[in-house]
């Protein structure tokens, strides 16, 4: 009887630790995904800024050229 109770407690503890581990892993996975998403967005933002600046610069240059015509 005592043995079975002891085994039951052990099993419950192991199950609890497993559940906790899976929860932690899921949270970490979520964090990693978010981190990747943020990095991707940041790089896109940098790219957009660069294109925007490039377009503005080209437009200004074209304006200057048109003035001379």
Could you say whether residue 55 binds other proteins (CB under 8 A)?
yes
| Cβ at position 42, least distance to other proteins in Å | 6
Length of the chain: 69
Candidate list 25, 27, 28, 29; residue touching other proteins; CB under 8 A: 27
CB of 14 or CB of 25, closer to other proteins: 25
Element spanning 4, H or E: helix 2-68
The residue range among 3-11, 14-22, 60-68 that interacts with other proteins, by the rule CB under 8 A, is 60-68
Backbone dihedral region for residue 43 (phi beyond 0: left; psi -120 to 50: alpha; all else: beta): alpha
């Amino acid at each position: 009887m005592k043995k079975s109770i002891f085994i039951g407690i052990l099993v419950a503890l192991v199950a609890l630790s497993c559940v906790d581990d899976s929860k932690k892993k899921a949270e970490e996975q979520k964090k990693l995904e978010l981190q990747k998403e943020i990095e991707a967005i940041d790089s896109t933002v940098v790219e957009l800024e660069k294109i925007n600046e490039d377009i503005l610069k080209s437009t200004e240059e074209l304006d200057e050229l048109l003035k001379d015509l």
